[in-house]
Amino acid sequence: MLCKSLCDLYENDISRSEKNMSFFIEILNYFKKKSNIEFSIRTYKDFQENINIRKGLHEILNNYDLFAKLLNPIDNILHIRIKCPVCNEYDKSSKSLQIIKDQNGNYMLKSFCNKHGDYSVNLNDKNDYVDVNTQLRDLLKGYIINRNQNVLTIMMDGSDWGGTWSNRIHCEGLLHLGEQELPLRIFTPMILDWSGAKFSKSLYMKNKDYENINNAFNDYTEFKRKYSDAGMNLLWSIACDWVGDPKKFYRNYTIEYFNILFESLEGMNE
Ligand SMILES: [Zn+2]
């Protein structure tokens, strides 16, 4: 399947990623004000060009078969993607990717665009963009955290990243990379739909299953219109309550539960 990153999809000279990030920045600024904690954002572009990410990827490629089987047992392929320098399209399945090791042990990645022919990147060159799938990203995050001991780094993810995924992909992967330690990792509550499935942005994007729920929980702009700052303040107090009483933090919550909590704000901006 041919894909393009959100940062390469433009509407009126603004990339889709810039447009989406503006909402996240607004929310992060709100939390900064509430908590008095500064934030900075590192993009995926910063992540993939990090020298330790490239080093970790090099080590993974040195043991391709083992990691391919661990991370992608369905097709035994490591999903590493490079994009055409002309149209920015890439092959999501990575099936067309060729990995060539030269006599000095360095890796060159080659692929093919139907419109623009062969292209290649050098794994050692941080100016060459290299994308990897979720499994590799998760493993490589742990790898760079272990190489950045000067600050306390915590990986924080939804609890769908816990359990088997964390054990197999993250912990087992790090062991195979020869790591002696595991990064500090915290899993947050997950928001569930009526069926107990994760309230999923991909399902929302397909616009299928969430037609009957409170639209403020589907769409941030609608959330702000309906509940304004009072809604954000309520979310903040709910999250503080979870953190203050950890048994509430290590639990999941349904979207119906939020409907009940938000009843007190219903009709405020109608
Ligand atoms: Zn192309």
Residues 81-139: tens digit of each pLDDT: 999 999 999 988 888 899 999 999 999 999 999 999 999 999 999 999 999 999 999 99
Q: Are residues 248 and 137 in the same domain?
A: no
Q: Are residues 55 and 179 in the same domain?
A: yes
The whole-angstrom separation of Cα 99 and Cα 252 is 42
pLDDT at 207: 63
On whether the CB atoms of residues 113 and 67 are closer than 8 A, the answer is: no
Exposure on the CB side of residue 269, measured as CA atoms within 13 A? 11
On whether the CB atoms of residues 184 and 152 are closer than 8 A, the answer is: yes
Ligand 1 centroid, distance to 120 Cα (angstroms): 12
Q: Are residues 60 and 115 in the same domain?
A: yes
The whole-angstrom separation of Cα 35 and Cα 61 is 42
Ligand 1 centroid, distance to 90 Cα (angstroms): 8
Q: Are residues 158 and 65 in the same domain?
A: yes
Ligand 1 centroid, distance to 101 Cα (angstroms): 24
3-state DSSP assignment of residue 133: coil
The whole-angstrom separation of Cα 109 and Cα 122 is 6
pLDDT at 38: 96
Which residue segment(s) compose the domain that 260 sits in? 190-270
Q: What is the domain count for the chain?
A: 3
Q: Are residues 69 and 88 in the same domain?
A: yes
Ligand 1 centroid, distance to 37 Cα (angstroms): 43
The whole-angstrom separation of Cα 48 and Cα 129 is 7
Ligand 1 centroid, distance to 71 Cα (angstroms): 28
Ligand 1 centroid, distance to 121 Cα (angstroms): 14
Ligand 1 centroid, distance to 85 Cα (angstroms): 7
Of 129, 159, 184, which residue is a domain's last?
Answer: 184
Ligand 1 centroid, distance to 5 Cα (angstroms): 13
Q: Are residues 15 and 92 in the same domain?
A: no
- The per-type count for the chain, helices as H runs and strands as E runs, is 11, 13
Going by pLDDT thresholds of 50, 70 and 90, the confidence category of residue 270 is: low
pTM: 0.90
Ligand 1 centroid, distance to 1 Cα (angstroms): 14
Whats the size of the chain, residue-wise? 270
Look up residue 142 and give its two tokens. Answer: 């742990």
Strands 184-188 and 191-192, how do they pair?
unpaired
3-state DSSP assignment of residue 188: strand
